[in-house]
């Protein structure tokens, strides 16, 4: 089965925004597009980083597992975002697993091909550096939060971030457009599913959110932001 190759599919993809349509087509042809069934692991922590990926549709979770058996959710990838690229370009093993959380579509390139493309289109190299920079800043921010803020505040910030990344307006409010568990939230905030559960229950009570099994709707964003940033921001 062949998926159609539409250069427009890459509109908004961070890696390709700076390229013209013709160039995009060349880049597309050098890669492989494939469907990913929900739950499918795209690469595993420790695998040699030999491929660069960009998500075209769906949602992918990047999870790091720690020696003690615990996991950390590093981030969720949305359409247009690349992943696995930094590791590949640095010839390092992947530092985390990548798992499709819903049925998704991605395109991927062997790192050798990507290097060739980057030589030909320096914009690609610059974009990928910028993307690394953005993530560096984001992590720095999260590091500061994690060491200074209380759990509720961290959960609020995390949910607010998810709203920005994956919020879909509904009549009820803004819904996170992919299934997310309390456990996920716990692993993103350095907490436990128990505490997350209690927190969400309390928020539901107050009408801030409406959460259910794998589903999260923010009904009063202003209140959430208030919790995330008490003395305003």
Binding site for a second copy (CB under 8 A): 64, 66-68, 70, 72, 74, 86-87, 89-90, 92, 95-96, 122, 125-126, 128-130, 132-137, 139-144, 146-148, 187, 189-191, 229, 231, 233
**First-to-last C-alpha distance (Å) of the chain:** 50
152 binds, among a second copy, DNA, none (CB under 5 to 8 A by kind): DNA
| Distance in Å, CB of 100 to DNA, minimum | 14
Q: Are 7 and 73 in contact (CB under 8 A)?
A: no
| Distance in Å, CB of 168 to a second copy, minimum | 27
| Distance in Å, CB of 69 to DNA, minimum | 11
Buried b / exposed e across 192-231, counting CB within 10 Å, b at 16+?
eeebbeebbeebeeeebbbbeeeebbbbebebbbebbeee
Q: Which of 161, 170, 28, 162 is nearest to 105 (CA)?
A: 28
Phi/psi region, residue 91 (left: phi>0; alpha: psi -120 to 50; beta: rest), is left
Closest CB to a second copy among residues 91, 172: 91
Choices 46-54, 107-115, 145-153, 163-171 (CB under 7 A): range interacting with DNA:
145-153
| Distance in Å, CB of 151 to DNA, minimum | 4
């Amino acid at each position: 089965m062949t998926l159609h190759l539409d250069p427009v599919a890459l509109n908004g993809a961070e890696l390709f925004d700076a390229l013209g349509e013709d160039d995009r087509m060349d880049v597309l042809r050098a890669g492989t597009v494939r469907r990913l069934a929900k739950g499918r692991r795209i690469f595993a922590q420790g695998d040699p980083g030999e491929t660069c990926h960009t998500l075209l549709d769906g949602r992918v979770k990047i999870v790091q597992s720690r020696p003690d058996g615990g996991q950390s959710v590093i981030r969720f990838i949305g359409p247009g975002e690349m992943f696995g690229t930094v590791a590949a370009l640095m010839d390092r093993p992947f530092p985390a697993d990548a798992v499709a959380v819903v049925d998704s579509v991605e395109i991927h390139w062997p790192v050798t091909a990507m290097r060739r493309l980057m030589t030909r289109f320096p914009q690609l190299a610059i974009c990928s550096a910028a993307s690394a920079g953005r993530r560096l800043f984001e992590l720095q921010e999260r590091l500061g939060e994690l060491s200074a803020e209380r759990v509720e505040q961290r959960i609020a910030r995390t949910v607010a971030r998810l709203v920005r990344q994956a919020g879909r307006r509904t009549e009820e409010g803004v819904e996170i457009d992919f299934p997310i568990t309390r456990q996920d939230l716990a692993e993103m905030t350095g907490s436990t599913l128990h505490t997350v559960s209690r927190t969400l229950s309390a928020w539901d009570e107050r009408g801030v959110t409406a959460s259910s099994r794998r589903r999260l709707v923010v009904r009063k964003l202003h209140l959430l932001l208030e919790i995330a940033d008490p003395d305003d921001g």
